[in-house]
A and B are shown apart, each in its own frame.
Chain A
Amino acid sequence: MAETSELVLALRNREERALTEIYDRYGGGVYQLALRITRDPGAAQEITLDAFWQVWRQADRFNERQGTLSSWLFTIARSRAIDRVRAAGAAKRVEREDVAVLEHPGDQPEAMTELAERQRLVREALAALTPAQRAALELAYYEGLSHSQIAARLGEPLGTVKTRIRQAMTTMRRSLAPVLAVP
């Protein structure tokens, strides 16, 4: 099933198979994103369920012109995770080994192959960034800091951080171009 049109239509029709397919594709990634931000496995699970629940209930609000379904889903999960961290004051630090590991369903080989390819490209794109660019992106994305907050955190000029983020995003776009739906 294509990611956007058919999948979104099925979601809007409250077809469970659509939700199942989205979860099979991105459930693990959403959980890992929430865990990366909150550092709390329990909170990550709740955020994961809440994010998919929101997508399920608000599928009618999804605007394809503003991005892909997966980017919407990750944006929801990211916002919820950052809000959780801010509400708690600080993320609870846990070791990755403490996270309960379940085998990935893997019942959609083609989709999983495509997803694995995307994962590989994303990792390569991030690896192509300079350490300073990657740090700036991670502080913004995973910790929800604005460029002025990042500058303050790193003790660097505001313009420098802003330029660094722009350059990092441009590099990411170039690296991910093969898999982008929106050129």
Chain B
Amino acid sequence: MMTHEEIQADLSLLALGALDADERRAIEEHLRAGCQACERELASWNEIVGLMPLELGDAASPNLKSALLARVRPAPVGAKVIRLPRWVAVPLAAAAALLIAVGVSHDARLRGDLDAQRESADRLRAELDGAQGELKRIGRLLAEREQDVASLRAALASAEESLTLLQAPGLRLVRLKETPEARPAEGHVLFNPEGGRALFYGFELPPVPAGKTYELWWITDKQGPINAGLFHPDERGLSRVDTSVPTTAGAIQAAAVTIEPAGGTPKPTGPMVLLGKS
């Protein structure tokens, strides 16, 4: 245990850093205990020791002030070029190169994926075009089928009407034969004087010349010939006229077919090709 006097005697050595570790610890403990006299004494020796390096002068010293101020000033916001030591810069550059390589590889893979996606998109587009073409074709077929259905419905409706006519009581039939001026042909008219409805069917009538039409006539006892309708045979030579029976012209004496100018005439003017008496 050092006495206060022994400690005071060694304070100059403490300031100089010339004490051994155990001596230093003993004095520091004494100072921590609150000896103000020793604290003042040590401060005096510290000042003297602090003056010692002044003997070295400062005339041959580098100016480090700018470096010092740069260190204490806060770093500016924004980009700053930092010169790294080689042991940092080389691994950093290698890491950057690796990242770039990985990035290039990744980019190449992405490009490959993109090309594959483009090929897939082209393939899908071609398939879509084909599907759209098929859809149009199916649409056309559907339209044709719808037309067929409409035709069938019309035919069915006509057949139903014909059946209704045929099933009605009082049915009458008039056979029509070709005239001596006409080529062989025939036809018949089904009508019911009570119902006012009539159906004409013609067979093997040739097509009429351009600007001409076949015209069907009722031959009545009061008004003579009355227009019953215009018609053209189809490609098979079949003809059909859905017409009505005049009710105010007296009894039906006969039915006839003549060739008339297109649009028909009120009274027969052309050659008679079919005639059938009631």
Q: Which of B43-51, B108-116, B135-143, B248-256 contacts A (4 or more CB under 8 A)?
A: B43-51
B69 in contact (CB, < 8 A): yes
Nearest to B21 among chain A residues (CB) is: A146
Q: Give chain B residues whose Cβ lies under 8 Å from the Cβ of A75.
A: 46, 49-50
Fill in one digit per residue for B28-64: 1 if any A CB lies within 8 Å of its CB, else 0: 0000000000011011111111111111111111111
Which of B16, B20, B39, B50 interacts with A68 by CB under 8 Å? B50
B19, A119: Cβ atoms closer than 8 Å: no
The answer, yes or no, to whether B270 is at the interface (CB within 8 Å) is no
Task: Report A34-56 residues with CB < 8 Å from chain B CB.
Answer: 36, 41, 45, 48-49, 52-53, 56
- How many angstroms between the C-alpha atoms of A31 and B62 in the bound complex? 8
Q: How many A residues, CB 8 Å from partner? A: 69
The reply to whether B16 and A31 contact each other, CB–CB distance below 8 Å, is no
Q: Is A94 among interface residues, defined by CB-CB distance under 8 A?
A: no
B83 within 8 A of A: no
Of B20, B39, B49, B57, the contact of A32 (CB 8 Å cutoff):
B57
Is B9's beta carbon under 8 Å from chain A? yes
Knowing A105-B65, A173-B48, say if A147 contacts B18 (CB, 8 Å).
yes
> Contacting B51 at CB < 8 Å: which of A71, A144, A145?
A71
Give a binary string over A117-160; 1 marks a CB under 8 Å from any B CB, 0 the rest. 01101110010000000000100110011111010000000000
Tell whether, in the assembled complex, residue B60 and residue A101 are in contact, meaning their CB atoms are under 8 Å apart: yes
Structural contact, B48 and A176, CB atoms closer than 8 A = yes
- Total contacts A-B at CB 8 Å: 182
Closest chain-B Cβ to A160's Cβ sits at a distance in Å of 13
Q: Which residue of A lies closest to B51 (CB)?
A: A122
The answer for the CA separation of A24 and B64 in the assembled complex, in Å, is 10
Q: A141 near B54 (CB under 8 angstroms)?
A: no
Residue among B21, B42, B46 with the most chain A CB within 10 A? B46
Residues in B neighbouring A105, C-beta threshold 8 A: 63, 65
User: With A and B bound together, what is the CA distance between A146 and B15 in angstroms?
Assistant: 11
Give bound CA distance, A105 to B42, whole Å. Answer: 33
**B196 interface hit (Cβ, 8 Å):** no
**B39 and A65 form a contact (CB under 8 A):** yes
- Contact between A32 and B62, CB atoms less than 8 A apart: no
Given known A19-B68, A102-B61, A169-B12, contact A182–B55 (CB-CB < 8 A):
no
Q: Which residue of A lies closest to B53 (CB)?
A: A33
Kindly identify which residue among A102, A147, A182 contacts B62, using a CB–CB cutoff of 8 Å. Answer: A102
Label chain A's interface by main secondary structure: helix
Give the B interface residue count (CB, 8 A): 42
B71: interface (CB < 8 Å): yes
Interface residues of B in 221-246 (CB under 8 A from A): none
8 Å CB contact of A141 from B42, B49, B67: B49
Instruction: Give the distance to chain B from A72, nearest Cβ to Cβ, in Å.
Output: 7
Of B13, B42, B62, B71, most buried by chain A (CB within 10 Å of CB) is B62
Task: Say whether A65 contacts B48, CB under 8 Å.
Answer: no
User: Residues of B contacting A31 with CB < 8 Å?
Assistant: 58, 61-62, 64
Among the listed A52, A96, A115, A182, which residue makes an inter-chain contact with B47, where contact means beta carbons less than 8 Å apart?
Answer: A182
What are the residues of chain B within 8 A of A141 when measuring CB–CB?
16-17, 49, 52
**Inside 8 A of B71's CB, which chain A residues have their CB?**
49, 53
List residues of chain A with CB within 8 A of the CB of B61: 27-29, 31-32, 99, 101-102, 104
Q: Pick the contact of B69 from A20, A28, A172 — CB < 8 Å?
A: A20
8 A–B contacts from the bound complex (CB under 8 Å): A20-B69, A29-B57, A32-B58, A48-B64, A49-B67, A71-B49, A119-B55, A140-B17
Contacts from A to B (Cβ < 8 Å): 16, 19-20, 23-24, 26-33, 36, 41, 45, 48-49, 52-53, 56, 65-68, 70-75, 78, 96, 99-105, 115, 118-119, 121-123, 126, 137, 140-141, 144-148, 150, 162, 165-166, 169-170, 172-173, 176, 179-183
Binding site for A on B (CB under 8 A): 9, 12-13, 15-21, 39-40, 42-65, 67-69, 71-73
The 5 closest A-B pairs by CB, nearest first: A28-B58, A71-B50, A67-B46, A28-B61, A169-B12
